[in-house]
Amino acid sequence: MTPDRLETQTDKSSAVRGRRGGVKFVLLHHGGCSGGGFHYRIDADGRVNTELDESERGQHPRSIGVVVDGDFDDGAPNDAQLAVLRRLLLKLKLRYPAAELGAHRQVRGGVETTCPGKRFPMQALAAWSRTGLLDERDEVLRRDFESQYSKI
């Protein structure tokens, strides 16, 4: 179950750069987001650009922010963007095993927003993050494990 509201708030006292504690959420945004502070941007051609180092605080504390270019109140992300997004989420899952996937609009205490957009397939991605993503992660870990032991 994805919680309705996520337990991270925009902390106005933390003007300090740097992350306090581990990464708790990977938060998705769209190009129509009114805020900034994204770690990764996926452009319309499905290329990933790094905008902030993961060690830096982005729009929300204890979160990695991923923005997908486009206004998804009006349209949906294209297949290239979604494929690249899933690959990026797999990498982040391997790096931050406990981090949950969430939508910007789930963050408590912020401005009301539809981000990452009414037509962004958030439910499908959230469902995948609890099933297919874990299978893909296990497959990567299994290959790593086997490649280590084949050296013995």
State the nearest-atom distance from the C-beta of 149 to Zn ion, in Å: 43
Measured in residues, the chain has a length of 152
State the nearest-atom distance from the C-beta of 130 to Zn ion, in Å: 22
- Annotate each residue in 55-94 with x if it binds Zn ion (CB under 5 A) or - if it does not, as one string: ----------------------------------------
Taking CB under 5 A as the criterion, the residue among 6, 26, 33, 85 binding Zn ion is 33
- Decide whether 96 or 114 has the Cβ nearer to Zn ion: 114
State the nearest-atom distance from the C-beta of 135 to Zn ion, in Å: 28
Positions in 91-120 near Zn ion (CB under 5 A) = 104, 115
Positions in 1-30 near Zn ion (CB under 5 A) = 29
Q: How far is it, in rounded angstroms, from Cα 4 to Cα 67?
A: 20
**Is residue 9 within 8 Å of residue 108, measured between CB atoms?**
yes
Q: How many residues sit close enough to Zn ion to count as binding (CB under 5 A)?
A: 4
- Decide whether 4 or 112 has the Cβ nearer to Zn ion: 112
Continuous segment of H or E residues that includes residue 124: helix 122-129
Q: How far is it, in rounded angstroms, from Cα 27 to Cα 109?
A: 15
To the nearest 10°, the Cα dihedral for 116, 120, 121, 126?
0
Sheet holding 48-50, edge to edge: 48-50, 40-42, 63-68, 25-30, 100-103
State the nearest-atom distance from the C-beta of 27 to Zn ion, in Å: 7
Provide the token pair at 109. Answer: 């205490």
- Decide whether 115 or 126 has the Cβ nearer to Zn ion: 115
> Interface with Zn ion by CB under 5 A: which residues?
29, 33, 104, 115
